[in-house]
Amino acid sequence: MSEQSLDQKTHSDPRQVRRVAVASSFGTGIELYDFLIFGLASGLVFPKLFFPQSDPLTGVLLSFLTFGVGFVPRPLGGLVFGHFGDRVSRRLMLVICLVATGICTVGMGLLPTYQTVGPLAPVLLVVLRTLQGFFMGGEQSGAFLMVTEHAPAGSKAFFGAAATAGSPMGSLLGIIAFQITAAATGPAFTDWGWRIPFLASAVLVVIGVYIRVGLEESPVFRELKEEIPDTPKVPLGAVFAKAGPMLLAGILVNLGFNLFVFVIITFTNAYGTQVLRMDRNIFLMAGLFASLGQLIFCFIASRIADRVGLNKVMLGGAIFQVLWAFPYFLLLNTRAPAAVYVAMIVGMCGLAFIFGPMAAYYVSLFDPSHRYSGVALAYNVGAVLGGGLSSFVATALLRQFGSTTPISLYVMLGGVLSALGILISLRRVRQHFPMLPRD
């Protein structure tokens, strides 16, 4: 049996597929919950608590820089966990990543502020954020592999959407946690109430570990070890030797997508409250409905991809990003709550056509023997260059030009880069992605 045939012929029974889908969704949900609450805190709370000596916009800039720091170690974490995921166990790496990420998030909720320990406070925040990013490097890519390798041919995009849809689910949880905490603690939210969502991550991690420990190993991974024992000792070397163009394609797709997503879910909150002087609850509620919409559309887009192919659906999502870049900020700048809702909800739902089928897309790029390493590196480098920098770059552009026009052009560039990545991988994905039979 060849490596290429494993994805077509190997899958789990329906009950196990559903269990893996739930576990993958929950794990990636916790990851985005952790990222979302940090992103919200970066725009709403951290400038005053950890960077109080700066003017408001500079404080936001420093907070977003700290937010971006968490992306930097993700490729390294992806390489480490990708290597052992290809050589030892996909399932074990996912459990380790989940536990360690949760510990870092809880640690952030226990940090002293600048008023208590001075400059040590932002230093500790950066250290925990860096460690969190390292362990997150193996989480989402591993979840992509687990659920799609368990799923049958013809439904890989749909079941893979469980891993991607976990992200808007985590965003929903994060926004709800912030909303409830802010309402319950009132003026005390900026003093100690903000800590509650971070500490609550411990409960989610315990549930996630309980679900994941009972999962079976990926059937593709098991068959690979039995049928093709002579796999690369250094999977990363095989990625560069056999799949260099696909690595570039994977980086570009996630770079462009993350660029706009994090402008929506992190920068917009800070821009709306600090610059437009609007109530933060408007953006939190708009973000909640936008995440709910994306959750639903991830599955819709993925089911369509199983029918017509990944390339068409994801390319449509990239084109949408280019077209929505200017209307997005035009709607925000009206300062009308209804316009804010439309901008964010339409934006996140449209991007689901890139994100929903993304798990199946990444799995299609690399052969099983070096897949974890390839997916982890491509996905996380794209996340660093896109999501890690987007809020910082958007804030810097606003500070430099005093206008959202350069930010819209920046978002358009992201859509073009995603489309370029999809075009580079067009033939490989068409050959390796198993669609449902046409009626």
Question: Which amino acid appears at position 201 of this protein?
Answer: S
pLDDT band at 268 (very low <50, low <70, confident <90, very high): very high
- For every residue of 11-58, DSSP letters joined together read ---HHHHHHHHHHHHHHHHHHHHHHHHHHHHHHHTHHHHH-TTS-HHH
Burial level of 210, CB count in 10 A (0-12/13-18/19+)? Answer: exposed
Contact partners, residue 57, CB within 8 Å, separation at least 6 = 274, 275, 395, 399
Domain 3-432 has CATH 3.40.50.300: no
178/296: higher pLDDT: 296
Chain centroid offset of residue 121 CA: 27
pTM of the predicted protein model = 0.86
- Region of poorest pLDDT, from 73-77, 121-125, 246-250, 416-420: 121-125
Q: What's the mean pLDDT in 402-431?
A: 95
CB 395 within 8 A of CB 54: no
**Structure tokens, 414:** 């992201």
Contacts for 118 with CB less than 8 Å, ≥ 6 apart: none
Q: How confident is the model at residue 439 (pLDDT cuts 50, 70, 90)?
A: very low
Looking at per-residue pLDDT, the higher value among 380 and 1 belongs to 380
Which range has the top average pLDDT, 206-210, 422-426, 428-432? Answer: 422-426
The reported pLDDT for the residue numbered 107 is: 94
How many residues would you count in the chain?
439
Residues 182-211 have pLDDT tens digits of: 888 888 888 889 899 999 999 988 988 888
Query: CA-CA distance, 260 to 283, in Å (whole number)?
Result: 16
Identify the CA nearest to 143 among candidates 433, 421, 371.
Answer: 371
pLDDT at 12: 62
Helix (H) or strand (E) holding 411: helix 405-424
Band (pLDDT 50/70/90 cuts) for residue 282 is: very high
The structural domains of the chain, with segments of one domain joined by +, span 3-432
Please, are residues 115 and 214 in contact by the beta-carbon 8 Å criterion? no
Reported as a single tens digit per residue, the pLDDT across 22-33 is 888 888 888 888
Q: Where are the alpha helices (DSSP H) in 243-370?
A: 244-262, 268-270, 280-308, 310-332, 337-355, 358-365
What would you report as the CA-atom Rg of the chain, rounded to the nearest whole angstrom?
21
Instruction: Answer whether residue 308 shows pLDDT above 70.
Output: yes
63, 50 in Cβ contact below 8 A?
yes
SS3 state at 318: helix
Q: How far apart are CA 159 and CA 377, in angstroms?
A: 22
pLDDT at 435: 63
Would you say 94 and 375 are in contact if contact means Cβ atoms under 8 Å apart? no
Q: And the tokens for 32? A: 């985005």
| Distance in angstroms between the alpha carbons of the first and the last residue of the chain | 29
DSSP per residue, 126-170: HHHHHHHHHHHTTHHHHHHHHHHHHSPTT-HHHHHHHHHHHHHHH
